[in-house]
Amino acid sequence: MKLSTRSRYGLLAIIDLAINQEKGPVPLREIATRQNLSENYLEHLVGALRRAELIQSVRGPAGGYYLARPPEEISLGAIIRVLEGPIAPVECSHLDEEGCLSPEDCFIRGFWEDLRVEVNQVFDARTLNDLVQKARYFKSISGCLSSSKGEEE
Amino acid sequence: MKLSTRSRYGLLAIIDLAINQEKGPVPLREIATRQNLSENYLEHLVGALRRAELIQSVRGPAGGYYLARPPEEISLGAIIRVLEGPIAPVECSHLDEEGCLSPEDCFIRGFWEDLRVEVNQVFDARTLNDLVQKARYFKSISGCLSSSKGEEE
DNA sequence: ATAAAACCTATCAAAAAAGTCGGAATTAAA
DNA sequence: TTTAATTCCGACTTTTTTGATAGGTTTTAT
């Protein structure tokens, strides 16, 4: 029931993006350098965020990424679901009929479904903007989330 | 952000236990047979539940397992945390100072901590008794959760 | 004694996650 | 119109976690 590094890295990246996009699209290289993450690996995560239309890209020189919507319209839940897959306690609760022999007779299905909804609400109640606000409060968004020593400067 | 089969199997086992313990300690063999799970594998899960003092055991012939407390005093959260590890979005939110270079300067720490608390509340708001009540409503607790075809009857 | 059970630990296999790599497509600018 | 900066794609490898098995040891009612 933990989030993987995909979420940690991906979230770091999108926060970095939100903070640095004022001067135009932010190249992945810069994000990777600032956050001390593997650019190659970030590529996959950012690709997923783009396909989910949370961010957009500009190709070619001076290209990079930017948010597809203002940060207050991007929920934490939306980001995490992209990076981590559906937030679901057990698989069957987000499946349709298949994979469950008799949905109506499965006493546990509704139970999980309720749980899933509530957990998602917890995540959806927060937005990227909340994170950006907190991040601005500090000099650097390195630290707990990244593995860097955060001592640049 | 999914639960593993540890949770599914372990939960099945403890529900089975809650339902069948009236006639004395329930041997693992019976649970494994009823739920169509590997007895060897269940051993590990049940061992963890015992060490966490959610269930207790009687050794020797006619031995088996029984709940350490009434089912309404065993929260879903407690069970899941035993089987799955702490319900935590990122590792640092349940660690002490170590692993986090500067807790006070880590802008994201409090954020995750709040999230963790809320997610745990969702799980802790449900008890084993809720599950048992639902299960009694049906003939068998096989079905979605187990991989058996649930056609024994 | 015997046998039924919990209990323990090592090992293995399979799956998922994490990370790397080489190159193709795009495009601004020299 | 070449160059170089960038996104984009997909195959691959490595590492970690999960799921599962197996053999042996206690414990204890009968």
Which residues of chain A make contact with B149, given a CB cutoff of 8 A? 101
CATH number of the domain residue A63 falls in: 1.10.10.10
Residue A11 within a domain: yes
User: Using the beta-carbon criterion (under 8 Å), do A2 and B108 form an inter-chain contact?
Assistant: no
Residue A73 within a domain: yes
A91-100, A104-113, A142-151 — which is least confidently predicted? Answer: A142-151
pLDDT above 90 covers what percent of chain A?
A: 60
> In angstroms, rounded to a whole number, what is the distance separating the alpha carbons of residues A9 and A41?
9
N- to C-terminal Cα separation, chain B: 35
pLDDT of residue A140 exceeding 90, the answer is: no
Residue B54 within a domain: yes
Residue A97 within a domain: no
Collapsing DSSP to helix, strand or coil, A101 comes out as: coil
B132-147 pLDDT tens trace: 988 777 644 444 444 3
Check residue B143 and give its pLDDT: 43
CB B129 within 8 A of CB B136: no
CB A120 within 8 A of CB B76: no
Residue B76 within a domain: yes
CB B128 within 8 A of CB A93: no
Number of domains in chain B: 1
Residue B131 within a domain: yes
| CB contact set of A57 (below 8 Å; sequence gap of 6+) | A25, A50, A63, A64, A65, A66
Residue of least CA–C1' distance to C3: B61
Q: Which nucleotide is nearest to B47 (CA to C1')?
A: C7
Collapsing DSSP to helix, strand or coil, B113 comes out as: helix
A103-131 pLDDT tens trace: 555 667 778 888 999 999 999 999 999 99
pLDDT of residue A136 exceeding 60, the answer is: yes
Residue of least CA–C1' distance to D7: A59
Structural domain for B61, as ranges: 5-85+127-136
Q: Got the DSSP string for B36-52?
A: T--HHHHHHHHHHHHHT
Q: For residue A71, which of A26, A20, A128 has the smallest C-alpha distance?
A: A128
A104/B contact by beta carbon, under 8 A = no
> In angstroms, rounded to a whole number, what is the distance separating the alpha carbons of residues A53 and A33?
24
Rounded, the Å distance between the CA of B92 and C1' of C11 is 32
Residue A106 within a domain: no
B73: its two tokens: 């005093």
Residue B106 within a domain: no
> In angstroms, rounded to a whole number, what is the distance separating the alpha carbons of residues B141 and A107?
8
